[in-house]
């Protein structure tokens, strides 16, 4: 994949930022994406304090996803993803998301206003996650698979962080983890604003037409990577939404303290970080396509087996959840790396945003299914997620000859 050069004047003036841009981006991604599941981290407390049901929590999660989808479509079809400096768009989005996330506290008792607030947070996240990928490629194009592994790993840790924040503030009001997540997002905005854009992509693209990102789907390898990613998305966020319920079920069977729930939920999701890093390093030896296939196949097998084993030892099930936490996200960065390599460089931001929009669109019905059916089906709702890995693996046959 070839990248046009850029003027040296666009380099960050801060010496540390210039030496460690990838570290700055992935830490900012961690802080910025703490907004994503900030409400899920205090979900059980909200059920007690406000009277929300599992379906209500599912609605709030879906609202974030819907906002993210609309946001990615907007930045892709308007050209913002490629015409506005990526670091500026990231910073503006993080600041806006932090303010709206904090404002959720004042409207939590109204499910309609709460859902609207979460929708707006999702809009802001559309300027954080896809732009974070573009920033990584702009700094480290030759090792995109490994670099994006770190980025998606930090996204995973960011999504897990509300559970950690809740565990740390368990004896404080539920509002505290939300305020802490907003503070982290503000710090992310400052870090990326100071970093700027790397030397391997133009600061902005001139012109452009609506839906330019769709042109990437004409490329065979981009299409195969995107379809594999779509299957991955069907499973991923629905599983993350289920993790607190699955963990709480096993703790109840063990007669363990309910206060362990946020810590174990954090651990299960956060295990995706080493999974992504391992996958990124392995991709440098065997290629992103093979790594993505193995991770998606592993996740699919766990999706099939977990309900069948739901009556066995809680310790076994918690162990399987940990393994699932590693594998369910390990393929994400590799799909993005494969798509980045096949997309037109001048429309990379739009292509990735469009791919994200479609993929996250598929998360809405899967989240709705599992959260609505959890009360009646329990762990068996997991089988509703199985078509994602299966169809994704079939679609990946188109990557068999890719590098």
Query: Concatenated DSSP letters for 44-95?
Result: HHHHHHT---HHHHHHHHHHHHHHHHHHHHHHHHSSHHHHS-HHHHHHHHHH
pLDDT of 211-256, one tens digit each? 556 667 777 888 888 899 999 999 998 998 899 999 999 999 998 9
- How far apart are alpha carbons 251 and 59 in whole angstroms? 25
How far from the centroid of its chain's Cα atoms is residue 33's Cα?
Answer: 8
pLDDT of residue 400: 59
Residue 206: the pLDDT is 46
Rg of the chain taking only CA atoms, in angstroms: 20
Q: How far is Cα 55 from Cα 260, in angstroms, rounded to an integer?
A: 23
The pLDDT value recorded for residue 211 is 58
Two tokens, residue 389:
């890995």
19 contact partners, CB below 8 Å, separation of at least 6 = none
Tell me how far apart the alpha carbons of residues 295 and 280 are, in angstroms, rounded to a whole number. Answer: 12
pLDDT < 70: residue spans in the chain: 1-19, 79, 81-82, 141-146, 198-215, 345-349, 398, 400-403
Rounded-to-integer distance, Cα 113 and Cα 60, Å: 10
Model pLDDT, residue 7:
34
Q: Rounded to an integer, what distance in angstroms lies between the CA atom of residue 369 and that of residue 365?
A: 6
> Are 121 and 64 a contacting pair, CB within 8 Å?
yes
> Given this model, what pLDDT does residue 19 score?
56
Q: Round to whole Å and give the CA distance between 316 and 17.
A: 44
pLDDT of residue 213: 62
The pair of three-digit structure tokens given for residue 146, joined into one six-digit string: 């490994």
Give pLDDT, residue 349. 66
Q: Name residues whose C-beta falls within 8 Å of residue 158's C-beta, 6 or more positions apart in sequence.
A: 29, 30, 31, 32, 33, 34, 36
Q: What's the confidence (pLDDT) of residue 293?
A: 93
Q: pTM (2 decimals)?
A: 0.74
Q: Between the CA of residue 351 and those of 88, 135, 257, 288, what are the distances in Å?
A: 19, 14, 46, 18
pLDDT at residue 389, rounded to an integer? 95
Nearby residues of 358 by Cβ (< 8 Å), 6 or more positions away: 226, 230
Residues 6 or more apart whose CB falls under 8 angstroms from that of 9 comprise none
**For the domain with range 13-201+212-399, which CATH number is right: 2.60.120.200, 1.20.1250.20, 3.40.30.10, 3.40.50.2300?**
1.20.1250.20
At 52, phi and psi to the nearest 5?
A: -75, 150
CB-based burial of residue 387 (10 Å sphere; 0-12 exposed, 13-18 middle, 19+ buried)?
A: middle
- Confidence (pLDDT) at 144: 59
**Which pLDDT value is given to residue 307?**
95
Of the candidates 153, 94, 130, the residue with the CA atom closest to the CA atom of residue 280: 153
């Amino acid at each position: 994949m070839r990248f046009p050069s850029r003027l040296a004047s666009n380099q960050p003036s801060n010496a540390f930022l210039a030496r460690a841009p990838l570290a700055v981006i992935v830490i900012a991604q961690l802080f910025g994406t703490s907004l994503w599941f900030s409400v899920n981290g205090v979900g059980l407390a909200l059920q007690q304090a406000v009277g929300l049901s599992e379906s209500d929590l599912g609605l709030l999660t879906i609202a974030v996803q819907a906002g993210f989808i609309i946001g990615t479509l907007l930045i892709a079809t308007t050209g913002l993803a490629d015409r506005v400096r990526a670091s500026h768009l990231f910073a503006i989005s993080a600041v806006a998301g932090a303010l709206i996330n904090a404002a959720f506290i004042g409207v939590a008792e109204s499910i309609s206003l709460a859902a609207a607030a979460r929708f707006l947070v999702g809009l802001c996240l559309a300027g954080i996650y896809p732009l974070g990928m573009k920033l990584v490629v702009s700094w480290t194009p030759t090792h995109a698979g490994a670099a994006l592994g770190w980025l998606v790993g930090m996204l995973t840790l960011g999504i897990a962080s509300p559970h950690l924040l809740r565990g740390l503030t368990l004896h404080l009001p539920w509002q505290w983890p939300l305020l802490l997540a907003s503070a982290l997002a503000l710090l992310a905005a400052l870090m990326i604003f100071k970093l700027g854009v790397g030397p391997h992509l133009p600061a902005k693209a001139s012109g452009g037409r609506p839906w330019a990102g769709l042109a990437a789907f004409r490329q065979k390898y981009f299409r195969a990577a995107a379809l594999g990613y779509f299957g991955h998305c069907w499973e991923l966020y629905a599983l993350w939404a289920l993790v607190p319920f699955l963990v709480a079920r096993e703790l109840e069977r063990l007669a363990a303290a309910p206060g362990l729930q946020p810590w174990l939920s954090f651990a299960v999701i956060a295990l995706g970080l080493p999974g992504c890093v391992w996958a990124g390093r392995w991709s440098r030896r065997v290629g992103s396509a093979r790594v993505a296939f193995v991770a998606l196949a592993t996740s699919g097998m766990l999706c099939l087996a977990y309900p069948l084993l739901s009556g066995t030892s809680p310790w076994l099930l918690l162990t399987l959840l940990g393994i699932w936490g590693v594998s369910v996200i390990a393929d994400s960065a590799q799909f993005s790396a494969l798509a980045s390599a096949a997309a037109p460089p001048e429309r990379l931001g739009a292509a990735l945003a469009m791919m994200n929009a479609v993929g996250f669109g598929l998360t809405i019905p899967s989240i709705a299914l599992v959260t609505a059916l959890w009360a009646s089906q329990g762990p068996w709702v997991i089988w509703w997620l199985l078509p994602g890995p299966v169809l994704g693996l079939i679609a990946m046959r188109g990557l068999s000859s890719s590098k």
